Amino acid sequence: MPTPTCCRTLLAHSPSAEVARCTCGHIHLSLGPMTIRMDEDTLHAVWHTMGDALRALASPPAAPPEPAIAGRWKQ
Ligand SMILES: [Zn+2]
């Protein structure tokens, strides 16, 4: 029995990013040459995190910034 192939539907794109929904249920987020596969809940969580980052960039820091530590997010 043949394995069903994935088929992507483009949801949004810009010069720097592209988001597509796959028939297997994943969301594919492409940034330049890199594509990250995630579920829809993770896409929402990433979107909120990006918004938090943009708000933080737009306002002056009240305290010294927290050092970035790799590997703190969970998938
Ligand atoms: Zn797929």
Distance 50 CA to ligand 1 centre (A): 24
| 60 CA distance to ligand 1 middle (Å) | 41
CA of 71 to the centre of ligand 1 (A): 25
For every one of its 75 residues, what pLDDT tens digit does the chain have, with 9 covering 90 and above?
666 788 999 999 999 999 999 999 999 999 999 999 999 999 999 999 999 999 999 997 666 667 777 776 665
CB 27 within 8 A of CB 21: yes
- Beta bridge partners, 21, equal 9, 27
